[in-house]
Structure 1
Amino acid sequence: MRAHERAASLALACLSLAPLLVNVNPNVNVVLTACLTVYVGCYRSVKPTPPSETMSKEHAMRFPLVGSAMLLSLFLLFKFLSKDLVNAVLTAYFFILGIVALSATLLPSIKRFLPKEWNDNLIVWRAPFFHSLSVEFTKSQIIASIPGFFFCLWYASKKHWLANNVLGLAFCIQVCLHGLTLII
């Protein structure tokens, strides 16, 4: 993590926690938080070599269709199922994605304190009955997901505004870093 990114991340953390201690102008907080979030996400996305993958025209054309289908499915869920069931499903969805986003956001900070082989050696997990479904991860990613797991437990149990904001910041940083592929 470079000095600029570290300073921006620290400022972002201070801006998130400031409303707990002092009265903060919401407009200033929103503008500064948005700018710093984009800065941190974009700064992390800069790589020494250009990415080898590019998005095809078909994938780009599919985004509005997938987004529309998602919104339609949410509308149908709220229309025909109980509010409590839909909230439970959305909480579970944000719980799982929150762990992934928080661990990916924390990983660059934690990585440098762990042994090098924990960062390099991939562990491949394959689903028992669906052999084409596999997940690759490292020990460093597992360590980074532990605080994310406990944070998401707090989010799911309390639904505190600070937990919601921190998850939103982690999602935004990862979307800036990886594009929309994290969401889909």
Structure 2
Amino acid sequence: MAEPVTEIPINIQESVIEAVKNVTDKPPSSIEGIAIAYLSLVIMATLPIFFGSFRSVKYLKEQKELGEQHETMSNKDALMFPLIASVALFSLYICFQFFSKEYINLLLTGYFFFLGVLALSHLLSPVISLVVPASIPNISYHIHFTRGERDARTDIINYKFSSYDVICLLISLCLGAWYLLKKVSI
């Protein structure tokens, strides 16, 4: 009866070592690649600030023309911000301690889906108003929900939008749903 071979032949062992080395080694970085990476990071960081500042100035001018006051942050709001942020971070820590990763990933995916849809629909609004044909009317809507009577009335919801904004929201929802389907299939 033949005794089983316990040693790996040298050529197979060297082949495995070389294959593992090829997979784990990092390719050398080039100066051009690093420059492109840093340049793209700088551009991606500055462009949203640049365009957002111009859009906020335009928005404030429109509010001033309509006679509306722009929202400001009070001292109370500024003092409450660190407290609310601390509570949010502590609750996230508790969630990581007591719940599984799948539930937290599901929660964060839903959160970013919701915020992404709202942000994308807001960004698409000026583009859609140029692209939508004139045969589709731009009808304005106003949702106004208040609490209390006459002098003690406070606004809970006071939101104005148009039919073009609804089109933007539907497009954003479709793109968000596509993202969710792609994320689930991965």
TM interval, shorter chain, is 0.5 to 0.7
Q: Which runs of 5+ in 2 are unaligned?
A: 1-32, 146-154
Deviations 1:35-60 (A, max 9, x none): 11111111111132555322111111
Which residue of 124, 138, 145 maps to 1:118?
138
Q: Which runs of 4+ in 1 moved over 6 A?
A: none
Larger Rg: 2
Instruction: Answer yes or no: is 1:55 the counterpart of 2:73.
Output: yes
Q: Could you say what secondary structure the match of 2:81 adopts? A: helix
Paired residues, what number? 132
1:72 corresponding residue in structure 2: 90
Cα RMSD over matched residues?
A: 2.9
CA distance in 2, matches of 1:139, 1:71: 38
Deviation at 1:101, TM superposition (A): 0.7
The equivalent of 2:164 in structure 1 is 140
1:98-145 alpha-carbon deviations (Å, 9 max, x no partner): 1111000111111244569625x115397xxxxx97574432211011
The amino acid that maps onto 1:52 is H
What is the Cα deviation at residue 79 of structure 1? 0.8
Amino acid at match of 2:141: L
Which has more helix, going by share of residues?
A: 1
In 2, Cα distance between equivalents of 1:102 and 1:61 = 31
- Structure 2 CA distance, aligned partners of 1:79 and 1:28? 38
Structure 1 length as normaliser, TM-score? Answer: 0.61
Indicate how the Cα distance of structure 1 residues 67 and 159 shifts in structure 2: closer, same or farther if over 3 A, else same. Answer: farther
What is the TM-score when the length of structure 2 is the normalising length? 0.60
Which residue, out of 134, 149, 173, partners 2:173?
A: 149
Equivalent residue number for residue 96 of structure 1: 114
Tell which has more relative contact order, 1 or 2 (C-alpha 8 A, sep 6+). 1
